[in-house]
Structure 1
């Protein structure tokens, strides 16, 4: 699969980038973006039909990013009980599939918050996979530039300090059986392979968080598969439904074989 992703990325880098082409008529640009999305969708989902929707999944993203390397994205799934997983696709990024999040029995699939890199003007697609295996997509257009090549820190060594350290913030005290919000933060440079080391003038090899599993007790909350489009020090906001007093357990790994594990006590509300 990594080789397939890299081959796909190489092919996409050679394609015409309508989002940044000057003088292109709006209708032509829109048609080009739609054609590109169809190519990406065919690659990711093969022969599965992806149906546009305004109701099953919604995207909240800035129209113009303040920081292209740190773009906040919120996905909302109003009919959360129908949702099995979501895909986040940044069409014009070198590797468009930014994340695939699969919800487990311990999840509340109503909302998801991510921070991503956006490399150029682009459509961002969110695709909801239902429990019946059907795919529905929504899209927004975001103006940004240079997010994938922006440095992760003053130096590679500085960016890698404390790699794998995790923190978790809970929005409030947790009540048994009621949905609770949490934010997972992972210290990791998430090198994209497009960043130049300012000392050596060489490109830093890609090293990014590839998989994150969140569970409580014997129940999976979510599994996240990521790539270079997740921001430096990825942050993932999610909701879960606690069934007991077991801690939240997180296992994270990157594409270079790094693996880290951490447990977080759940702050329970007292009656």
Structure 2
């Protein structure tokens, strides 16, 4: 796992064609910024967005920055790969990853760490093979819902199995994994609830589409003071083997989990 991704909670996507958004992102509290060349950019702005992204990552950023390529098979993909490979972007992001072979080829051409977006049924089924080829996985929930032909307004419940499959693949490969976006910019309560759901599924953080979502996301994916205090007590109290701690049986597995929480905090 890249050490630069170990504590990432908030993953902010923004159009590389929007210089104002890039300026705001640079000054934000996002843990990872992704300059998007794909869905967020109009066809007629693809070339200028690519140039803008390369120029933007050449400057200093307080957080790691990635560039999302256009998908394999699109007319812009090869140009994106060539430009991003020569850029100072720390990471690249591949949308609609559907096979380990495809991801391996793109990562090799880039010669830099690649995050793969799992956005299709094929991608979910191949996630266990894709994950070892990557620096991390991102669940693309909007595209996935469309690929699964879910009715509008179906919510996250029909996606639970797919999301858990993505998390399982990432954990087996020891790479970080990030939840999909929350679309309603004005519903911070809904965002907070979806962040809590994502954390309960095992995600390390969440994709975001606006800076106003960052604070709620960072809070939701950070251990609470109560969690930190209990983890410290558990680690300090453990004497080896199975034993009783605050009314529960614990063993080394629980200590390792508590130590991971402390490390993340």
Common fold by TM > 0.5: no
Shorter-chain TM-score range: under 0.3
Structure ranking higher in strand proportion: 1
Point out the structure with the larger helix share: 2
TM-score, scaled to structure 2: 0.24
Higher-RCO chain (CA-CA 8 Å, sequence separation at least 6): 1
TM-score by length of 1: 0.23
